[in-house]
Every structure is written in C-alpha cells, then in structure tokens.
Structure 1
Amino acid sequence: MTMLGRYCLEENPEIATAGYIDVLARIGVSAHATRLTVSRMTERGLLERSRQGRAAYFRASEVGLRVVRVQQQRTFHDTGEEPQPPGAWTVLCFSLPETHRKERHLLRRSLAWESFGLLRDGVWLAPGERDVSAILAQLPGAGVDQHVEVFTAYPKFEDVPGMISRTWHLDELAERYHRFLRSWDVPDPVPEALDDLGRDLILASAWRQLLRETPRLPAGHLPDGWPAARCHELFRTLHESYRPDADRRFAGILAEHRMS
C-alpha cells in the first residue's frame, strides 16, 4: 500500500508480479511472500488482476485507490490543527452483518486511519466534529451506511481524561514514538534495506503505523513532552533525503515491468 500511494496514485499503472517482487526484495521480502501478499490484496478487493499472455499484472482497484488516498493525506498532508469545535466529539456506531465482512474490515481500517478510537464494541470516538462521508464512500457494498449511525456529542461528565484513557493507551503510544526515534534517529537506519527505495518504503510504512494508532487529540489532553512533533520532523527530513534516488529507482522498475 505504501508503494501504491507513493508511485501509482496518479496513473495507476498495471505492474507485473515481477515488478512487485523487485520492489519488495529491497526490504527483504521474499518472492513467495510477495506473491501471497498480492494475491491476498486482490481477494480483499484492493488490487485488480489482468493478463497479457501468460504474465499477470496488477493495479489498484477503485477501493484500493480510495484507501491509499486517505493514507497519503494523513501521511504527508496532515496539518495537525486542533479539532474543532472545542469540546465536541464525533461518535460513530455500527453493527455490520456477516454478509458485509469485507466492508466491516475496511470500515475499521478507515476509522483507525482517521484517528477514531474504539471506545467499546461497535462504538468509535474521535475529537472534534468529523465528516465521515469520505470514510463511508470507501466501502464497496450497497446499503452499508444503513448500518452506521454518527453523532456529534459533548460529554456530560468531567472525566474526559478517563474516557480518553479507556479509548487510547497513550503511555504505550508514547513508547512507540520513542522506539521510532531510537530506530531512525541514528547514522545508518534500517541497514537491511538495499537502497533508498527500500529505506523510503520502510520509513513511510513505519510512520504510517504510528499515525494509524495516533489520535488527533487537543494538546491539552496529551501528556507533557509528547514526542509526536519531533518524530514528524525526523520523518520529513529522512523522506526528503531518500526521495530523489527512490523515485529514480522505482521509475526504472516501472519501465521494465509495466504492461505495454
């Protein structure tokens, strides 16, 4: 998904299986594991398969493109502004039947990417007043929105920190940020990567995993010394240093393995 977001959003080219293998080999993923991953993403509706002769080619599906656009927005264009209006929370409740299993998986994934936290089973929470229409638009099944209810709410009690602690484990998340710093704020991060393309893919994926778990809470609800800003600056600095060579290398792979 990181590869698709970085290089395939605009044109969405059809790329041979060998191309995916070539890219992921740079971060130590075997050819067998890559084939399994591509197959699994196709089964989930994130990739589409086509053939030219005996060769299989894959491109992002419409569902996959919508998911990747959300990830790209959060990864590279999140402004970090305070949630508005102050004191408001968006509460989303859903109960999808087993016939909508795929949509349920995508909805949970999308809610996590949009900084919603799981308050309790089927009840998700995010600070501020949030427009969830883009989240629901990612779901491929017809009538899914009939199983989802959304409210803007203001807590009727003073223990908002308690509600936050029941929804997000901030101490554990802070430790993940510090682990990111220990891994990347060093002279030679990810020595297992073969080149800057590999380093950039691992960096963006690691940063996305952090963002997926990070609530966009108002600063007043975050612990003192919250490390997110320092990590974000490190991510942007490293990404800009890797990007020129990574772009050049992927362009060469695409030229070799795209459908003619």
Structure 2
Amino acid sequence: MLLTMIGRYCLGENPEIATAGYIDVLARIGVSAHATRLTLSRMTERGLLERARRGRAAYFRASEMGLDVVRRQQQRTFHDTIETPHPEGAWTILCFTLPETHRKERHLLRRRLAWESFGLLRDGVWIAPGERDVSAILEQLPGAGADQHVEVFTGYPKFADVEGMISRTWQLSELAARHERFLRAWDVEAPVPEATDDLGRDLVLTSAWRQLLRETPRLPAEHLPPGWPAARCHELFHALHETYRPDADRIFAGILAEHRMS
C-alpha cells in the first residue's frame, strides 16, 4: 500500500512526509498506527525509504531504489495494454544456467521474469509472447557477470498447437480463477467496505490490480479459452480508478499540505 501511495502521489516530487501523514493515509483502509510505523521502519531497513528527522518528528521519502521499484510498477499498472503481443506469433525465449555462486541473482531473475509475463516452459527455459526487450531485467541483476549465463532469442513455434504449449507452461484454470476473484471483489455496488473514502478505495484497488498483474501473465487472447476474463478485469480497473481518482487526489493533497516537511 505504501509503494502504491508513493507511485500515485509522490513519484514526481518525492516529498518528505511525516510519519503522521502515512498514518493518516493508511488509517483510511483500517491499518493501525503501530502497523504503519513498523512498515515504515522495515521499508527503510530494506533501502526503499529514507528517513530524516526534524526535532522529534520523523519524515520519510522514497530512496532511489524505491523510486526505481515504483516506476516499474507504475509502468505495468497504468500503461500496459491487453493487446496481442507483437510481432504476431512471435515468442521470446530466455535460457539461463546460473551457478550456485549466483543463487541470489537466480532467485531475482525468476521473480522478474514472472513479473514480466514469462512462464517456465521447462527447467531453465522461459518464454513470453511477443518480441521482448529483456535488457532492463538483466540490468537489475546485482552480481557482476550474471548476464553472461543468459541467452535470449525470438522465435516462432513450428507446430500448430500453441494452445497446448501455453497450457503446459501456465495453469490456465488457476489464472482464470484469479481474474474471477478480482471481478467478484470489485464488480459490485460497494467494493472494499473497509475503506472510508475514495483515497482508501483507490489505494486498495490499485494494489489489488497490481497483485493480479504480478500473478497473471499477458497471454495472446486468440490462444486462450473463450470468455477469458482478463479484458473485463482491465476495463473494470480503469473505470473504477477514474471514478475514485478526483476525490483521492484532492484528499491526498490536503494530507500532503499538512504533513510534508517544509
């Protein structure tokens, strides 16, 4: 939720905000002051936030690492589409064999590939629809020389059963169920009843949508079962976000004016 807040409202200016400001925001979705303070401390320890003090008051803003994480999240959350990947019929194939000395990089690479809609075809071989630029993924690997163990190709399946390849790589029934859960939670008259206003509703909505994107790859619609729910989820998220956004922006502007470091 805090990363969602920073991405929505603080990405450009990155202001230093008092602890009380974060408490004010997260209280709108039922998060206690103690939990907010603990989260701020943990995010600072992980290098995502920076802490400054003025007297007894603590102020926080995103670090460069945190801003980098948020920028990537914002791109995927608000600017990606559900259009068929291009060029039509192409797939990106990424193969890697990272030794035990690169265990951290191996774990990070798997996480980043999953976030970027790659699926594990077989051990060490990941695929994603379309022609994908993976340079940003490889640049995030912390160890020197890890990219030397990675090979990337663009190819076209030499058989007609692309649906079978997709079903062997991704659990389609599970992916469909995740989309349906999002629809059941948000395609209702009064979603997220624990939120006290549109700022809270927008934060929960955006975080839920981001979680869905993290768990579900962008797959070509023509090779998916009829009635695949991704398009309905995409339309619902953007419609609700536009409904909540005006009041959410106004409410947060008031909180920022009260709690930012002058």
> Which of the five TM-score ranges fits, normalised by the shorter chain?
0.7 to 0.9
Give deviations 1:74-108, integer Å, cap 9, x for gaps.
2211132221223322223443756773x556544
Aligned partner of 2:219 in structure 1 is 217
The Cα RMSD (Å) is 2.4
SS at match of 1:48: strand
Are 2:43 and 1:41 aligned? yes
SS at match of 2:61: strand
| 1-structure distance, mates of 2:62, 2:108 | 15
Aligned partner of 1:132 in structure 2 is 134
Matched residue count:
259
Following superposition, the deviation at residue 204 of structure 1 comes to 0.8
| 2-structure distance, mates of 1:97, 1:62 | 29
- Whether the aligned pair in 2 keeps the contact of 1:21 and 1:34 (CA below 8 Å) is yes
The verdict on how the C-alpha distance between 1:36 and 1:121 changes in structure 2, with shifts beyond 3 A counting, is farther
SS at match of 2:194: coil
Are 2:57 and 1:32 aligned? no
Aligned partner of 1:168 in structure 2 is 170
Gaps of 5+ in 1: none
| 2-structure distance, mates of 1:185, 1:178 | 10
Give deviations 1:205-239, integer Å, cap 9, x for gaps.
11111111222221221110011111211111111
TM-score by length of 1: 0.87
- Whether the aligned pair in 1 keeps the contact of 2:93 and 2:127 (CA below 8 Å) is yes
| 1-structure distance, mates of 2:36, 2:99 | 31
What does 1:149-164 align with in structure 2 at a 5 Å threshold?
A: 149-156=151-158, 158-164=160-166
What does 1:192-231 align with in structure 2 at a 5 Å threshold?
A: 192-231=194-233
Q: After the TM superposition, which of the residue ranges 11-20 and 89-98 deviates more from structure 2?
A: 89-98
- Whether the aligned pair in 2 keeps the contact of 1:63 and 1:139 (CA below 8 Å) is no
| 2-structure distance, mates of 1:51, 1:227 | 48
Following superposition, the deviation at residue 38 of structure 1 comes to 2.3
Aligned partner of 1:14 in structure 2 is 16
- Whether the aligned pair in 1 keeps the contact of 2:82 and 2:231 (CA below 8 Å) is no
| 2-structure distance, mates of 1:85, 1:177 | 26
Q: After the TM superposition, which of the residue ranges 58-67 and 188-197 deviates more from structure 2?
A: 58-67
SS at match of 1:226: coil
The verdict on how the C-alpha distance between 1:220 and 1:121 changes in structure 2, with shifts beyond 3 A counting, is same
Q: After the TM superposition, which of the residue ranges 150-159 and 64-73 deviates more from structure 2?
A: 150-159
- Whether the aligned pair in 2 keeps the contact of 1:67 and 1:138 (CA below 8 Å) is no
The verdict on how the C-alpha distance between 1:186 and 1:165 changes in structure 2, with shifts beyond 3 A counting, is same
Gaps of 5+ in 2: none
Q: After the TM superposition, which of the residue ranges 83-92 and 213-222 deviates more from structure 2?
A: 83-92
Q: Out of 62, 68, 71, which is 2:70 matched to?
A: 68
The percent identity for this pair of structures is: 83
Aligned partner of 2:261 in structure 1 is 259
The verdict on how the C-alpha distance between 1:88 and 1:187 changes in structure 2, with shifts beyond 3 A counting, is same
